[in-house]
Structure 1
Amino acid sequence: MPRPFATHSDELMAWPTQSVEHVPRLLIVDDEPVNIHSLYPLFADDYEVFMATSGQEALAMCHQNQPDLVLLDVLMPDMDGLEVCRQLKAESDTAAIPVIFVTSQHSPEEESAALAAGAVDFISKPVNPAVVKARVKTHLTLKWQADTLRNLASMDGLTGVPNRRVLDDRLRAEWRSCLRNRKALSLLMIDVDQFKSYNDHYGHLQGDECLKAVAKALSINVERSRDVLARFGGEEFVCLLPETDHAGAMHMAERLRQAIESLAIPHEKSTVADVVTVSLGLATQIPLEDSEGLPLLMAADEQLYRAKQHGRNRVMSACDKMN
């Protein structure tokens, strides 16, 4: 489990040009605790600082509680920093995390190897405090700018939730993660009931407002950082729930169903209720083979069809736990 080395100060530091406050998360990785202690005071006032003393621990921390930047030693037992960096860059959920090597190595060949592994910078020990602080700030700023552009490209223009491309990427990544860890992966396919009738009666502009309200209500109830709510297309949404068993996913599905019904958006042309409702199809699997997660998506879609056939405004489940 992640081990916070220290929490940030009470005064939050906003990222450059951001309108909301965000404390960047900094991970320091070194097998010698004394080196971590020497770097910590440089960043404690401005960042949330975490520590790892091995390559495996660093990888686990980056997957579970993603930092905004990693300060990484090269020479470590068991797994050196170069391999840690390569593995971070090989996984879609950690590839965008900038890595700065802070090491006792000095040669151009060693620096070239670090950059070839995917690092954004290379700082030799003993560090100059002003220099290392400036480089960390620069690379955090660059990451925030890249994240902003990436987020704009990955959001659905109408509802503001992630789009289909994000869903496809995350489904592949989470399928493979659950395959490695032998964990259950659940997926909810969500459809606004009789939305065509809603559009025909209230008009497309009001239909857009309805979809926005539905997306917002779903998003509010999807709280875990690894969970993904995305617009699949039209009036369909998908909720991806990594490391969630069937019971947990069923609880979430019913929570989302009730959240939409509780909006009490009038729907005079619905044969289901006098308000807007949703139908949900649920599938849970423990991946056994490498794929892009398509079987899970298809299974949830089948259950969504069953939910519509059985009267809508309900959850139907494919309890397909592959043991």
Structure 2
Amino acid sequence: MDIAQSLPAGTPFGGELERRPRLLVVDDQPVNVQLLYRVFAADHQVFAATEGNKALEIARQQQPDLILLDVVMPELDGFEVCQRLKADQLTRDIPVIFLTANADPESEAHGLDVGAVDFIGKPFNTKVVRARVKTHVTLKRQGDLLRRWVFLDGLTGIANRRHFDERLAVEWARIQRSGAPLSVLLIDVDHFKRFNDSHGHQSGDDCLRRVAAALASGLQRPTDLVARYGGEEFVCLLPDTDGYGAQHMAEQLRQRVHQETQPGVSGAPWPAVTVSIGVGSARLDLMHSADDLLREADLNLYRAKKAGRNAVRAGAAALSA
């Protein structure tokens, strides 16, 4: 069966093991997709696209470690795709290797000018392609590690407020162009001051780390982000998620935190904790900035606390509350 035609664009080849590098192959010829799949499927998670716009969509959603990109394609050619990848904050750090039959010096120079890290001519030697992919994936992961240190919360190991603020600004600008849904969850650990007073600040720090781990493990997509918002508050950014989906995710996270902090699961010498969650969902007809989105989530968080905590609250009425 034709692999490139039998699976929908963006379908991961080879499973969901996140420890494996994620590779996006973009080529309008299915035979080339099949060949590269056979080369990389054993030790990579491979995604495929046969045209430029779909490649941009998959790159944003799946955040691959590297993109193998054909130059000559209908509609958007590889050079234009690469330029758009580099103009988008979510995809600009993904290395791009061009694969093309036009391996002349002028094309190669242009490919490097628009942001590619390498240029391989067709027909290609599979050993050479594997070696170059390995090199650039290693460099990408080293760069990712350095960037994470800058945007990391020192206590919990998840993203910090600075990283969340930057991602929120990017996503808000994107939905203004596309009209896509966007939601945020504001999450507060219930009665945390009482917890610290009863169990001590070291246990409080351990509690925050366990809550952060439960939230991070509960997110479902690479583009979802959980960050420490400040003190005992956390925030989740959910691109391409409407109010219904965000409320469903919030309820799952509320239950997950309570389950994952049970003494029998966590081994902690203190009782399980609960969280209250407020949901905010973008409505461009009423909201003028990302601050309005956060305000809705904050007002819904207040409603969750007022309702007795260990609860999720959502709804557009919060803006006028």
| Counterpart selection for 1:227 from 199, 213, 224 | 224
Q: Following the alignment from structure 2 to structure 1, what is the Cα–Cα distance between the partners of residues 127 and 64?
A: 22
Q: Which residue of 2 aligns with 1:238?
A: 235
Q: Which residue of 1 aligns with 2:56?
A: 59
Partner of 2:23, secondary structure, is strand
**Matching residue's letter, 1:29:** V
**Matching residue's letter, 1:80:** D
Q: Following the alignment from structure 1 to structure 2, what is the Cα–Cα distance between the partners of residues 321 and 187?
A: 14
Cα RMSD, aligned residues only:
3.0
- Which segment drifts farther, 311-320 or 138-147? 311-320
Change (3 A) 1:35 1:214: closer
Q: Is 1:32–1:53's contact at 8 Å kept on the other side of the alignment?
A: yes
Q: Which residues of 2 match residues 146-185 of structure 1 at below 5 A? A: 146-185=143-182
Q: Which residues of 2 match residues 88-237 of structure 1 at below 5 A? A: 88-237=85-234
Q: Is 1:184–1:287's contact at 8 Å kept on the other side of the alignment?
A: no
Superposition TM-score, scaled by structure 2 size:
0.82
- Please report how far the alpha carbon of residue 50 of structure 1 lies from its aligned counterpart in structure 2 after TM superposition: 3.2
Partner of 1:106, secondary structure, is coil
Change (3 A) 1:215 1:27: closer
Q: Is 1:30–1:54's contact at 8 Å kept on the other side of the alignment?
A: yes
Q: Is 2:61–2:222's contact at 8 Å kept on the other side of the alignment?
A: no
> How many pairs are equivalent?
304
Q: Is 1:189–1:300's contact at 8 Å kept on the other side of the alignment?
A: yes
Q: Which residues of 2 match residues 12-27 of structure 1 at below 5 A? A: 22-27=19-24
Change (3 A) 1:58 1:205: same
Q: Which runs of 5+ in 2 are unaligned?
A: 1-7, 264-270
Q: Following the alignment from structure 1 to structure 2, what is the Cα–Cα distance between the partners of residues 204 and 231?
A: 17
- Please report how far the alpha carbon of residue 155 of structure 1 lies from its aligned counterpart in structure 2 after TM superposition: 2.4
Q: Following the alignment from structure 2 to structure 1, what is the Cα–Cα distance between the partners of residues 286 and 102?
A: 41
- Please report how far the alpha carbon of residue 118 of structure 1 lies from its aligned counterpart in structure 2 after TM superposition: 0.8
Q: Following the alignment from structure 1 to structure 2, what is the Cα–Cα distance between the partners of residues 140 and 80?
A: 23
Q: Is 1:184–1:321's contact at 8 Å kept on the other side of the alignment?
A: no
Q: Is 2:83–2:114's contact at 8 Å kept on the other side of the alignment?
A: yes
Q: Are 2:6 and 1:2 aligned?
A: no
- Please report how far the alpha carbon of residue 233 of structure 1 lies from its aligned counterpart in structure 2 after TM superposition: 0.8
- Residues 41-60 of structure 1, C-alpha deviation per residue, up to 9 Å, x if partnerless? 43344333333221112112
- Please report how far the alpha carbon of residue 275 of structure 1 lies from its aligned counterpart in structure 2 after TM superposition: 6.1
Change (3 A) 1:6 1:247: closer
Change (3 A) 1:259 1:43: closer
Q: Is 2:97–2:120's contact at 8 Å kept on the other side of the alignment?
A: yes
**Matching residue's letter, 2:232:** E
Partner of 1:210, secondary structure, is helix
Q: Is 1:188–1:238's contact at 8 Å kept on the other side of the alignment?
A: yes
Q: Following the alignment from structure 2 to structure 1, what is the Cα–Cα distance between the partners of residues 34 and 249?
A: 42
- Which segment drifts farther, 235-244 or 58-67? 58-67
**Matching residue's letter, 1:129:** T
Q: Which residue of 1 aligns with 2:276?
A: 279
Change (3 A) 1:28 1:276: closer
Q: Is 1:286–1:321's contact at 8 Å kept on the other side of the alignment?
A: no
Q: Following the alignment from structure 2 to structure 1, what is the Cα–Cα distance between the partners of residues 159 and 311?
A: 24
Q: Which runs of 5+ in 1 are unaligned?
A: 13-20, 266-273
Q: Is 1:189–1:239's contact at 8 Å kept on the other side of the alignment?
A: yes
**Matching residue's letter, 1:75:** V
Identity of paired residues, percent? 51
